[in-house]
Amino acid sequence: MAQYVFAVDLGGTTVKLGLFDSEGNVLDKWEIVTRKENNGEKILPDIAKSIQDKAAEKSIAKEDILGVGIGVPGPVDSKGTIYKAANLGWDVFNVSETLGDLTGLPVKTGNDANVAALGEMWKGGGKGFNSIVAVTLGTGVGGGVIIEGKLVAGSTGAGGEIGHIHVEDNEKISCGCGKKGCLEQYASATGIARLANERLAQDDMPSVLRDADKIDAKAVFDAVKDGDRLAVEVAEIFGMYLGKGLAAVAAVVNPEAFVIGGGVSKAGDVLFEYIEKNYLKYAFHGTRNAKFCLATLGNDAGIYGAAKLILE
Amino acid sequence: MAQYVFAVDLGGTTVKLGLFDSEGNVLDKWEIVTRKENNGEKILPDIAKSIQDKAAEKSIAKEDILGVGIGVPGPVDSKGTIYKAANLGWDVFNVSETLGDLTGLPVKTGNDANVAALGEMWKGGGKGFNSIVAVTLGTGVGGGVIIEGKLVAGSTGAGGEIGHIHVEDNEKISCGCGKKGCLEQYASATGIARLANERLAQDDMPSVLRDADKIDAKAVFDAVKDGDRLAVEVAEIFGMYLGKGLAAVAAVVNPEAFVIGGGVSKAGDVLFEYIEKNYLKYAFHGTRNAKFCLATLGNDAGIYGAAKLILE
């Protein structure tokens, strides 16, 4: 008898959904709009309806559905309670219970970055490992910690918030979180652009970045690949902060591998030169064996991870 | 039918053993000498014999023994493989398998600091919590990370090595691990003594510490309790480093509580004034709710935790 899992990746604009078989193969993928009006009260009913419609369309009986996994954009503890999701207008409530009541199905909920990490370990860049830390270098720096196949959600859903590890004592500018000197201020796409602009302003060293339309992480790492000296200096600073932060992470959970994703990771293997060398500079000897790999699932990591919440 | 667990806390000088019932009550405690000659080849046979003798003495049948839990002084992964224990003369091998063969009983093995953490959560300062980080402030700074009741051993046994989180960029002196600026260099008993000596040498500020027979962590915190201004400054520096380090830990695993043990913790609640305030200065807002408590089991934490390895 075939069995199925529904996977949901809830974003601020769209909800990605996936239908999986019990082997973890994607049978279908689709999207619906995230309706945020009235504090997002329609979001979970919309998702429940979309799941029921799909089950009807595919003639899948309720008893053949193992459950629904969902990743949501906010801190979620291991019981499925979300501690506010400002982006959706949501306050504190139990997502697993609410969506469970709406669908009549078992539901498991995780934070979106954590769930994507689980996806990457299952079917992506972290495949073959059992304990990884996924590092998302995007607008901010996110993380997902997986130990022996299980997500570390954190007691109040803040597990894997590695972008807010303090790595610089002399920072003058505040991070979005209100603190000063967070990893995110240097290793995110935004942080890299800032490091580049600061370096450019420092003196007149020639650099292709001076003629770039836009100073962003892509421009910096393209310049690094072309051997641009100033861009290489920026990459070194980025690598120093990220290496320092990941060494701290390793001293806590000693993962087998770090899986690097997010927009910045599109730069590819060139990143590792700067991250690994600096990681080794700060890492405790017992954690030096950690591997570094690139995330490979892109925007699908969320639904893979959500399916895995049920199939684990 | 009564069931039993044997618990072993293997140290460099003595082996502490305990006999527990399946409810976690200690029925007996005893010690044997750790015989380290010939690369510690006698240690596990000695332990096996001591367990068998005790079972015979108490007329406990083999089928009524649930298993043997053991904490060992070195990095151990979740499968029971130890990655060298220089202190015992041991190289890499699987402790659980070896002691299992010797006793004919199921064996679970953990790193001693990690196992003590498990003990503290089960029956000590961390009782009632499910996810804690135990922090041992002794000669060095050790740690044990427990997430939802399970130890995070680490992929090569280096989980919880929080004493080697980098917290100071400007350190000139090397840590025992070879790096510079590790948390252990400031927050251990040794580190506190050093901070005090450095502060005393800095100027002529009066302090009771100038007349102390010995400048150690106890003398510093005794002076703090008496309102000694210089000692308070030292405590602030200690708290700043420890707060910074624990904030990094919290950004990774977001525990419910930190349980502070080791020799330095004998100073008592006065420590929290300096740790908590500084923790809040560096902690990501989603992790600010962490509780701070004192370890309470002292030298018995190891056997409690070892018993819990089997009873979990």
Helices (H), chain B: 37-40, 43-57, 95-103, 112-123, 184-187, 189-202, 217-225, 229-253, 270-282, 301-311
* Over residues A70-85, mean pLDDT: 91
Distance from CA of A60 to the nearest CA of B (A): 35
Residue B243 CA to its chain's centroid (Å): 18
Most B CBs within 10 Å, among A284, A289, A291, to test the B interface: A284
Decide if pLDDT at A176 tops 70: yes
pLDDT given at position B86: 78
| pLDDT band of B1, cuts 50, 70, 90 | low
Where is pLDDT greater, at A235 or A176? A235
Nearest to B152 among A78, A161, A253 (CB): A253
Question: pLDDT-based confidence at A85, cuts 50/70/90?
Answer: confident
Nearest to B252 among A75, A166, A253 (CB): A253
Chain A residues close to B82, C-beta within 8 Å: none
The answer to whether B150 and B164 are in contact (CB under 8 A) is no
Residues of B in contact with A251 (CB under 8 A): 158, 161-165
Is B284–A253 a contact, with Cβ atoms under 8 angstroms apart? no
Question: What is the structure's pLDDT at A19?
Answer: 98
pLDDT above 90: percentage of residues in chain B = 92
- Residue B312 has a pLDDT of 78
The stretch A156-169 carries a mean pLDDT of: 96
B256 has pLDDT over 70: yes
Q: Is the pLDDT of residue A1 over 80?
A: no
Asked if B177 lies within 8 A of A284 by C-beta distance, the reply is yes
The per-residue pLDDT for range B120-174, each reduced to its tens digit, is 999 999 999 999 999 999 988 999 999 999 999 999 999 999 999 999 999 999 9
CB within 8 A of B88, min separation 6: which ones? B10, B12, B34, B36, B39, B40, B43, B72, B73, B74
Question: If pLDDT is split at 50, 70 and 90, which confidence band does B12 have?
Answer: confident
Give the relative orientation of helices A217-225 and A270-282 as an angle to the nearest 10 degrees. Answer: 100
Nearest CA of chain A to the CA of B156: how many Å? 7
Q: How confident is the model at residue A121 (pLDDT cuts 50, 70, 90)?
A: very high
Q: Quick check: B289 and A155 CB within 8 A?
A: yes
The pLDDT of residue A83 is 87
Is residue A117's pLDDT more than 90? Answer: yes
A 10 A CB-CB count for A222 gives 17
Judged by CB atoms closer than 8 Å, whether chains meet at B284 and A179 is answered as: yes
Model confidence at B304, pLDDT cuts 50, 70, 90, reads very high
Contact B155 A289 (CB under 8 A): yes
Alpha-carbon distance of A165 to A178, in angstroms, equals: 13
Q: What is the strand order of the sheet A26-33 is part of?
A: A26-33, A14-21, A4-10, A65-72, A107-111
Residue A87: which pLDDT band, with cuts at 50, 70 and 90? confident
Q: Which amino acid is at A279?
A: Y
Distances from the Cα of B47 to the Cαs of B8, B50, B79, B194, in angstroms?
A: 8, 5, 20, 39
CATH second-level architecture of B4-119+300-311? 2-Layer Sandwich (3.30)
- Residue scoring higher pLDDT (B259 or A299): B259
The residue assigned the tokens 């200096």 is A233
Nearest CB neighbour to A251, from listed B161, B178, B251: B161
Task: Please provide the CATH number assigned to the domain covering B128-296.
Answer: 3.30.420.40
Substitution target in B253, B256, B282 with the highest count of A β-carbons within 10 Å is B253
Select from B164, B177, B254 the Cβ nearest to the Cβ of A155: B254
pLDDT single digits (tens) A262-306:
999 999 999 999 999 999 999 999 999 999 999 999 999 999 999
In chain B, which residues have their Cβ closer than 8 Å to the Cβ of A182?
284
**Pairs across A and B, CB distance < 8 A:** 143
In chain A, which residues have their Cβ closer than 8 Å to the Cβ of B163? 251
Q: For residue B97, what are the CA distances in angstroms to A199, B100, B103, B114?
A: 56, 5, 10, 19
Residue B139 is predicted with a pLDDT of 86
Sequence ranges of chain B with CATH classification 3.30.420.40: 4-119+300-311, 128-296
pLDDT score of A17 more than 90: yes
Q: Which residue in the set A148, A152, A157 is minimally distant from B78, CB to CB?
A: A148
Pairing of strands A291-294, A257-261: parallel
Nearest by CB to A244, from B133, B166, B177: name it: B166
**A251/B157 CB distance under 8 A:** no
Under DSSP, the state recorded for A96 is: H
Three-state SS at B258: strand
Mean pLDDT of B47-71: 97
- pLDDT at residue number A8: 98
Q: How far is B76 from chain A (nearest CA, A)?
A: 11
Measure B249 CA to nearest chain A CA, in Å: 6
Tokens found for residue A77: 């503890």
pLDDT of residue A33: 96
Q: What is the average pLDDT score of chain B?
A: 95
CB pair distance less than 8 Å for A161 and B247:
no
Query: Which residue in chain A is spatially nearest to B175 when comparing CA positions?
Result: A284
Confidence band, pLDDT 50/70/90 cuts, at residue B199 = very high
In this prediction, residues B71-98 reach a mean pLDDT of 91
Q: Parallel, antiparallel, or unpaired: how do β-strands B14-21 and A257-261 relate? A: unpaired
The reported pLDDT for the residue numbered A16 is 96
Whole-model pTM?
0.92
For the CA atoms of B177, A276, A278, A207, the dihedral, rounded to the nearest 10 degrees, stands at 170
- Please, what is the average pLDDT of chain A? 95
Name the closest residue on chain A to residue B281, using Cα atoms: A179
Q: How confident is the model at residue A139 (pLDDT cuts 50, 70, 90)?
A: confident
Do the Cβ atoms of B287 and A251 come within 8 Å? no
- Cβ of A159 and B253 within 8 Å? yes
